[in-house]
């Protein structure tokens, strides 16, 4: 299945997906970044994947930016759109356009800790567990139906950076696995629910 990956930064999840692409029936058609200096672009180039920079600061509105992104995505006619650390909020129209085929990874156990700075907020809240969620993207920010989560324990001496490192290890294992469910046709969004092998998750 052809896929387009959207990034904003380091692209370590992108790297995990590139490394597994052959095993998960994914052909990464292109990588789109809203930052020209995102290290993920180097990772994509190293893997021979076409890259596009669409700098959101060059657009007067979210609508026009989203339109430019969707025009680029649609050139590749992908079966899946993968948000991998893409740090822009989409318009409802964009979310609707790719509804059912756009996935996002979020570094918290959703519905807890939507939004930014999740690792520090987990520590501040005194949580004893943390993790990562992968969900279908709907019009609700970080709120679409959850597909899968991995959990880690929060240790007494953890800080935001140690938590981020351990959560990322889980992210890199979980995202390729979930993408594979999708490329195999096992994972769908049906009536607002994530469904795997015909069973609601
Ligand atoms: C990850 O923690 C991801 O969950 C979040 O942004 C971070 C991206 O990291 N959405 P990377 O660019 O994949 O290294």
* pTM exceeding 0.95: yes
Active-site positions read: 106
Q: At what angle do helices 12-20 and 39-46 cross, to 10 degrees?
A: 20
How far is ligand 1, taken at its centre, from the CA of residue 131, in Å? 12
Which atom in ligand 1 lies closest to the alpha carbon of residue 40?
Answer: 12
Q: Is pLDDT at 48 greater than 80 in this prediction?
A: yes
pLDDT digits 0-9 by tens, 126-172: 999 999 999 999 988 778 999 999 999 999 999 999 999 999 999 99
Residue whose C-alpha is closest to residue 173's, from 9, 19, 42, 39: 19
What CA–CA distances, in Å, run from 66 to 59, 116, 175?
Answer: 9, 21, 24
Which atom in ligand 1 lies closest to the alpha carbon of residue 132?
Answer: 4
pLDDT digits 0-9 by tens, 106-121: 999 999 999 999 999 9
Domain 2-106+131-151+169-200 bears CATH identifier 3.30.428.10: no
Ligand 1 site residues, Cβ closer than 6 angstroms: 7, 9-14, 40, 84-85, 105-107, 168, 171
Taking all residues of the chain, what is their mean pLDDT, rounded to a whole number?
97
Angle at 41 between CA 37 and CA 44, to 5 degrees: 170
Q: Is pLDDT at 96 greater than 80 in this prediction?
A: yes
Atom 2 of ligand 1, nearest CA residue = 107
The whole-angstrom separation of Cα 147 and Cα 171 is: 13
């Amino acid at each position: 299945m052809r896929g387009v990956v959207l990034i904003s930064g380091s692209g370590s999840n992108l790297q995990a997906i590139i490394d597994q692409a052959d095993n998960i029936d994914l052909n990464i058609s292109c990588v789109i970044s809203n930052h020209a200096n995102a290290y993920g672009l180097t990772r994509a180039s190293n893997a021979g994947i076409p890259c596009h920079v669409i700098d959101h600061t060059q657009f007067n509105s979210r609508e026009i930016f989203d339109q430019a992104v969707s025009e680029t995505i649609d050139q590749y006619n992908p079966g899946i759109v993968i948000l991998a650390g893409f740090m822009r909020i989409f318009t409802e129209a964009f979310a609707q356009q790719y509804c059912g085929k756009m996935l996002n990874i979020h570094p918290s156990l959703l519905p807890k800790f939507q939004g930014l700075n999740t690792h520090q907020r987990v520590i501040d809240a005194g949580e004893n567990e943390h993790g990562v969620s992968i969900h279908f993207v709907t019009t609700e920010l970080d709120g679409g139906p959850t597909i899968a989560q991995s959990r880690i324990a929060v240790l007494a001496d953890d800080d935001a950076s140690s938590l981020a490192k351990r959560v990322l290890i889980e992210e890199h294992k979980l995202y390729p696995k979930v993408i594979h469910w999708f490329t195999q046709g096992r994972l769908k969004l049906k009536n607002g629910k994530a469904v795997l092998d015909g069973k609601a998750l």
